[in-house]
Chains A and B, each alone.
Chain A
Amino acid sequence: GIQVEQSPPDLILQEGANSTLRCNFSDSVNNLQWFHQNPWGQLINLFYIPSGTKQNGRLSATTVATERYSLLYISSSQTTDSGVYFCAVVARSNYQLIWGAGTKLIIKP
């Protein structure tokens, strides 16, 4: 089945810094989503981005479907950005989300 790899696994930054999170996937996808799981466990939808580029405030994402990767950019980090960021994809033959292992982000004040 399709494999999803996220990097880096852990990231510690000072408040105000910028960061780039990467998601590689091993096959063509119908759907790609980025989530932020906050310290209380809630999964928050960030982007639905099977291809192209989207921006929402300090966050933006780019998916290059032909090269099978997606990037999540966080600018001017705040302590509330801390948590785990997940990339998840839906393979073309399926409906379920296949998840990466996540990037654990810690923003220090």
Chain B
Amino acid sequence: GAGVSQTPSNKVTEKGKYVELRCDPISGHTALYWYRQSLGQGPEFLIYFQGTGAADDSGLPNDRFFAVRPEGSVSTLKIQRTERGDSAVYLCASSSPGREQFFGPGTRLTVL
């Protein structure tokens, strides 16, 4: 079917607010990944799901960040008490396990 989709494409919020970012993977892909990209840098890994479970969350920067994938398809990245340093593009990717990863267009988060 279609590629990876992410919503919203842009999100502007105020410091201290809560935000949710959504990722809809390619149909049939059981592996889902979240990355974060700051200006002028390559993406950095945040969390990896295989099915419904978070197989590796070692990239989450602190406990303000949390992600879920309750039915093994759509995933939501949740950020509590946002800080200005959280401003970045949040990228989602999906794949068959261990295979080529395909990326969505990203959500640009700006924390004022």
Interface residues of A (CB under 8 A from B): 30-31, 33, 35, 41-43, 45, 48, 86, 88, 90, 94-102
Contacts and interface: CB of A to CB of B under 8 A. Distances in A.
Given A33-B100, A41-B89, A41-B106, A95 B43 contact: no
B105 A33 contact: no
Instruction: Describe A's contact surface by its main secondary structure.
Output: strand
Contacts of A86: 42-43
Interface residues of B, number: 26
Interface string B37-63: 000011111001010000110010000
Contact of B45 (A31, A45, A96): A96
A33 B108 CA distance: 23
B27 interface: no
Interface of B: 31, 33, 35, 41-45, 48, 50, 55-56, 59, 89, 91, 93, 97-103, 105-106, 108
Most buried by A among B44, B56, B103: B103
Given A41-B89, A41-B106, A43-B91, A95 B42 contact: no
A45 B100 contact: yes
Contact of A45 (B33, B89, B102): B102
A94 B112 CA distance: 35
Contacts of B50: 95
A97 B35 contact: yes
Contacts of A33: 100-101
Contacts of B91: 43
Most buried by A among B59, B101, B106: B101
Contacts of A102: 42
A85 B45 CA distance: 18
Contacts of A90: 98
A94 B55 CA distance: 10
B37 to A, nearest CB: 8
Contacts of B31: 95
